[in-house]
Each structure stands twice: as structure tokens, then as C-alpha cells.
Amino acid sequence: MNSSVITFPGSNCDRDMDVALKKFGFKNKMVWHDDVELPKSDLVVLPGGFSYGDYLRCGSMASKSKIMKSVLNFAQGGGKVMGICNGFQILVESGLLPGVLLRNKYLQFICKNIFVKVNNKDNPYFKDEKKEIYEFHIAHNEGNYFCSNDQIKKINDNNQIALFYSDESGNVNEDCNPNGSLQNIAGVFNKQKNIIGMMPHPERMIDPALSGEDGSIFFENLINNLR
């Protein structure tokens, strides 16, 4: 399986993602934002970080960079695209995913482990996943998911919510919503479910000695689904 991780100026989780993808069997290539062509890929990842210093709006500048034209074509042709954290912000700014990520409700940068509950397994990212609840890490200032009433209706009608912030047992309520996200949304799909964006970082949970193994479970399942 071939994957590509795009590095934008200010990306800082690109190497972590490279390590994670390689650990679970992907042949990964790093792609510079100013490149025009995307290498042959089964999965394209937009990593976390602070592309362009979060100027204007998080992800807005990166969403207009040269490589994004190829990413857009790839995604619109059904290619699998995954955006993590800043990558999620880039995907909503590019219009590939609905909604927007606002400043966290209490204006604090949040850096901690949280739990997320998988909402929809009928897609390449969570198909055949035995686990319902993951412990992942979040580190963001703008993760407060928001969209219009029309959009949220469409998102629910098409079952586009990927992950909810939940507690350890999978209860979804305001107490376990870290940033004020609409309906506790931690990740969404496009309508066709080939594109996913999520605020949590599975790539930070791939080593039991350092963090946890829930990311390992996610990546192992992902590569099996793409094979």
C-alpha cells in the first residue's frame, strides 16, 4: 500500500505520521506542498501542525497550495484522503468536507488524551473494526466543529459523522465535549466516505511504552481495509 503525507510550511506531525504509516506496512512518501504531482497513492494524509502559522483562518492558506489541486482531483475521483487536526482544518477550508473548525469554546489550547466513539463503520477507515471506543490524543486551539443547520441535517441524513467525543464507556454528552463541538463531533466524512477529517491524533498512540495502542489498532485495521 502506498501512502503520501503532505508537508506544508508549519506542519509538525508529518514525521510522526510517516513513522506510524511505515510501522503498519505503508510505503510512505513525503510530498512538499509546492509540488504539483501526487505520487501514486492508496492513501493521502494531511498531517497536523500549524500550516502558515494559522494565518487568516487555520488551514485556509494551505488549502490553496499547489499540491492541493492534485489532492482535490484525487479525492474527487474516490481516492482516500485523511486529514488529522490541522489536516482536518485544511479539508474543511478546501471544501472537501462540510463545516468549519472554530476557536475552542473556552479559548484554551487543549492538549490531553480523550475518548472517541466510532459512529459509522461502513467505510474504509473503520470497516471490520472491533473496537468502538478509542483513546486518542488531542492538541488544538481550533477544534470546535460548527456548521449550518442545513449542513448538520445533511451530515446526519448521510451518516457522515465519523467520531464523537465520548467518555470511556462510550457515552456521548456535554461533559466529555472538550472544545464545544456541535453534537460532540470529533471527525466527519464526505458523503461518499472516502475522505475523513478528525481532530484527534491516532499517530500519537502507536507505542505502548510512550502512549497507548489504540492508534496501532486503527492503523492496522486501516491498512487491512485498503488492501
Partner 1 sequence: MKVSVVITLKKDVLDPQGKVIHQTLDGMGFENINEVRQGKYFEIDTKESDQKKAEKNVEDMCKKLLANLVIEDYKIIGSQ
Q: Which residues of 202-220 are buried (b: 16+ CB within 10 A; e: fewer)?
A: bbbbbeeeebbebbbbbbb
CA-wise closest residue to 162 among 98, 227, 208 = 98
Least Å from the CB of residue 107 to partner 1: 5
The length of the chain, given as a count of residues = 227
Q: Does 171 bind partner 1 (CB under 8 A)?
A: no
Closest CA to 179 of 133, 136, 144: 144
Asked about 203 being catalytic, the answer comes back as: yes
Least Cα distance to 95 among 111, 109, 108, 81 occurs for: 81
Whether 85 is catalytic is yes
In the list 64, 66, 131, 153, the residue contacting partner 1 (rule: CB under 8 A) is 64
Site string for partner 1, 151-170 (x = CB under 8 A): x-------------------
Whether 111 sits among the annotated catalytic residues: the reply is no
- Tell me, by CB under 8 A, how many residues bind partner 1: 19
Q: Which of residues 188-227 bind partner 1 (CB under 8 A)?
A: none
For partner 1, the binding residues in 15-54 under the rule CB under 8 A are none
Q: Which helix (H) or strand (E) covers residue 152, if one does?
A: helix 149-157
For strands 110-118 and 161-166, give the pairing.
Answer: antiparallel
Shorter beta-carbon distance to partner 1: residue 17 or 152: 152
- Which spans of this chain sit near partner 1 (rule: CB under 8 A)? 56-57, 60, 64, 93, 99-100, 102-107, 144, 146-148, 151, 180
Active site residues: 85, 201, 203
